[in-house]
Structures are given as C-alpha cells and as structure tokens.
Amino acid sequence: MVKKTILFVFLLKFYLAGQPLHLEDLIDSALMHNPELLAAKARYEAENRNSPFNSLPDPILGIEFATDMKMYSLSQEIPFPTKLNTRNKVGVLTAQQYLDDYDTKRNEVVKKVKEGYARLYIIHEEEELMARVKENLKVINAVAQKNYAFNRVSQTDVLQIELAEIKLENELLNIKNEESLVRAELNQIL
C-alpha cells in the first residue's frame, strides 16, 4: 500500500508540475516496484540459492545407548554418480526456467508501460486538438450568431454549430475519463 502511494505521488508530481512523463523513468520505476516482477525475481533467486545441485545429502550422526555401552555412528548416503549429475541438470534447468519466467514477466511489464505511455500520449494530443477545435467552434458560433442577427444564416445552421460544440464537450469528457483510466492502469503496473 505504501509503495502504491509513493508511486502515485511520483506520477502526481510530474502531472502537477506540468512536466512530461518520461518513458525511461516509468520503465525504471515499474522494474523496481512491480510486485509480480519482484516475486518472479525472488523465486529465481531462491531457486538459484537454495538448490544444492551437486552436493551430497547431509551426513547422519547416530548415538545408541544400552545399559552398559554407548555406540556412535556416522553415515553418509552416497548416491549413484549419475544421480548427482541428473540432479544437477534438473536444478540448473529449474533455475533457468525461473529466470525465463522472470524475463518474460519483465518484458510484459515493459510492454504494458510502453502501451500505457503511448495511450497517454495519444490522449494528450487528442485533448490539445479538441481544445483548438473547441476554440474554433466558439469563434464560428459567434460569427454565426452575428450573421443570424442580420438574417444571413438560418437558425438550423446556428443550432448545428451549437450541437457540434456540445458533442465536442462530450468527447472531451470521454477523453478525460479515458486518461484517468490509463493513468490508473499505469499506477497499477508501477
């Protein structure tokens, strides 16, 4: 929970400062803080560290007591030589599988961050374009209102322009909602 708050503050800092989010920063943050990626890395490290691939089993120390004597024994299980080699190969392959899983998850995280970043960029460009169109429609509407006052334009033309403004406002709201959704998805990845 604390990590998500820190990441949200990290993204909010860029958003409020008006600075653009940099893709490299987002990828680095995701690679350092993504819980699924950290879990995959921990699995690989645990398998790599905890697998004694080529070692013998632990020796066994035994003590037996009888009424008049004590017996000590020490035994070591020595497996057939090919069994040690096979166990070593299995351990190496298992560790390699966990490393491959980690690499796959890492690539997925990077891909998701890049897709989210690209979607945010497209949304931002759409917002800027629609803001310019909105300003142009306001100017056109003002001109149409003046021309309507002098009977040069019909009322339907003025209403169509106003309807276009309303549709544009709705589209801007949809884009802002989509931006919030994409930002939430990015925060989830991070």
Segment (H or E) for 145: helix 81-149
Closest to 110 (Cα-Cα) out of 98, 100, 121, 102: 102
d(CA 43, CA 173): 44
Distance of CA 182 to the CA centre of its chain: 11
61: which strand partners? 74
Q: What domains can you pick out in the chain, each with its CATH number? A: 2-54+80-189 (1.20.1600.10)
If you average pLDDT over every residue of the chain, what do you get? 81
CA-based end-to-end distance of the chain? 12
User: Which residues fall within 8 angstroms of residue 127, CB to CB, at 6 or more apart?
Assistant: 172, 175, 176, 179
d(CA 28, CA 49): 26
51 neighbors 91 (Cβ within 8 angstroms)? yes
Asked if pLDDT for residue 4 goes beyond 60, the answer is no
Residue owning tokens 């409020």: 16
State the average pLDDT over residues 46-73: 75
| Tokens linked to 11 | 């993204």
Asked if pLDDT for residue 7 goes beyond 50, the answer is no
| Tokens linked to 171 | 């589209």
Predicted local confidence at residue 129, as pLDDT: 92
Residue 56: pLDDT band with limits 50, 70, 90: low
Residue 51: pLDDT band with limits 50, 70, 90: low
Asked if pLDDT for residue 151 goes beyond 50, the answer is yes
Among 8-12, 40-44, 97-101, the least confident range: 8-12
d(CA 74, CA 62): 6
d(CA 102, CA 43): 9
Predicted local confidence at residue 80, as pLDDT: 77
State the average pLDDT over residues 56-84: 78
